[in-house]
């Protein structure tokens, strides 16, 4: 009965090779978020969608893009991954902006 599903759980890519991470939800929530979490650090918000409205954090690198083709799915595209982009990427959803977020179990991205 997983509600926020992230695929794959582990992703290995080469330096500079584009990669896409996916997230799906069965909660029908309006808001979807992408976070980057490095070891022993706080999750850092990259961007979020309120329905189809995209909200980018000011310090999110241009290398990171996102797509939300429908309510259920959201994708994180990293156009040219660098070694510093190795991290856990967490997707979360919430019913509305001030409601608790429900997280998936993340995708751990490694860069060779």
- Identify which of residues 4 and 19 has a Cβ nearer to another protein in the complex: 4
CA distances from 20 to 4, 37, 65, 95, 101 (A): 17, 17, 9, 25, 22
Q: Mark residues 29-68: x for contact with another protein by CB under 8 A, - for none.
A: ----x-x----xxxxxx--x------x-------------
Residue 26 in contact with another protein, rule: CB under 8 A: no
The neighbouring-strand residues paired with 24 are 5, 73
Residue 5 in contact with another protein, rule: CB under 8 A: no
CA distances from 80 to 14, 44, 46, 49 (A): 9, 19, 16, 22
- Identify which of residues 76 and 92 has a Cβ nearer to another protein in the complex: 92
Residues 6+ apart with CB under 8 A from 19: 11, 13, 77, 78, 81, 109
Give the total residue count for the chain.
112
Residue 103 in contact with another protein, rule: CB under 8 A: yes
Residue 105 in contact with another protein, rule: CB under 8 A: yes
Residue 100 C-beta: closest distance to another protein, Å = 4
Residues lying near another protein in the complex (CB under 8 A) are found at: 4, 6, 33, 35, 40-45, 48, 55, 90, 92, 97-106
């Amino acid at each position: 009965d997983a509600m926020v599903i992230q695929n794959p759980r582990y992703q290995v890519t080469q330096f500079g090779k584009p990669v896409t991470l996916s997230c799906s939800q069965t909660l029908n929530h309006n808001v979807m978020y992408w976070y980057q979490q490095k070891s022993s650090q706080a999750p850092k918000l990259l961007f979020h969608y309120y329905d189809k409205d995209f909200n980018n954090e000011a310090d999110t690198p241009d290398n990171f893009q996102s797509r939300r083709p429908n309510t259920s799915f959201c994708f994180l595209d990293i156009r040219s991954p660098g070694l510093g982009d190795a991290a856990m990427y967490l997707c979360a959803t919430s019913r509305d902006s001030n409601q608790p977020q429900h997280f998936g179990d993340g995708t751990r991205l490694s860069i060779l």
